[in-house]
Amino acid sequence: MPCPGGRPPARRPQLGPGERTGVALLDAYVADRRATGGPLWAATAAERQILLDFSGWLAERAAGDPDLALRATTPADVEAFLVARRRADRDRRATRGALDRRLLALGRFYVWAVAVGEVARNQVPPARPRGKGG
Residue 22: what are its φ and ψ, rounded to 5°? 90, 0
**Segment 10-57, tens digit of pLDDT:** 444 444 455 667 788 888 888 887 777 765 554 567 888 888 889 888
Contact at 8 Å (CB) between 45 and 17?
yes
Helix ranges restricted to H, 1-130: 24-36, 44-62, 66-71, 75-92, 96-115
What mean pLDDT value characterizes the chain? Answer: 75
The answer as to whether 2 is a domain residue is no
| Single-letter amino acid code for the residue at 29 | Y
What is the rounded distance in angstroms from the CA atom of residue 52 to the CA atom of residue 21? 7
Position 9 scores a pLDDT of: 46
Question: Stretch 55-66: mean pLDDT, rounded?
Answer: 83
pTM of the shown model:
0.73
* Distance of alpha carbon 131 from alpha carbon 134, whole angstroms: 5
Within a domain: 82: yes
DSSP 8-state class, residue 2: P
Per the domain annotation, does 23 fall within a domain? no
pLDDT for residue 3: 44
**Identity of the amino acid at 78:** V
On whether residue 1 sits in a domain, the answer given is no
Residue at 76 is within a domain? yes
Q: Residue 64: which domain range?
A: 44-123
**Coil/strand/helix, residue 24:** helix
